[in-house]
């Protein structure tokens, strides 16, 4: 648990985020995902109720937004 992590920037070389990696992070607000991320584990941001911004690199060809999510 981390009680001061407000912003996370996932670099282009990261290919996977493990299951529940940022779950229940009470203060996480912003996440930026780089071009290389291919896999998000189940419940990665579950319970992170303050999360208000998730951006995905336009160069990322593995993940897509659907219906704004």
Q: What is the pLDDT of residue 57?
A: 96
Q: Which residues contact 40 (CB under 8 A, 6 or more apart)?
A: 16, 17, 63
Q: What is the pLDDT of residue 11?
A: 97
State the pTM of this model. 0.86
How many residues are present in the chain?
Answer: 69
φ/ψ of residue 59, rounded to 5: -80, -5
Low-confidence ranges of the chain (pLDDT < 50): none
């Amino acid at each position: 648990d981390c009680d001061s992590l407000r912003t996370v920037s996932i670099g282009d070389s990261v290919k996977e985020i493990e299951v529940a990696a940022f779950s229940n992070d009470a203060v996480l607000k912003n996440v930026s995902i780089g071009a290389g991320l291919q896999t998000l584990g189940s419940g990665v941001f579950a319970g992170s109720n303050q999360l208000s911004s998730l951006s995905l690199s336009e160069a990322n060809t593995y993940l897509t937004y659907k219906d704004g999510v």
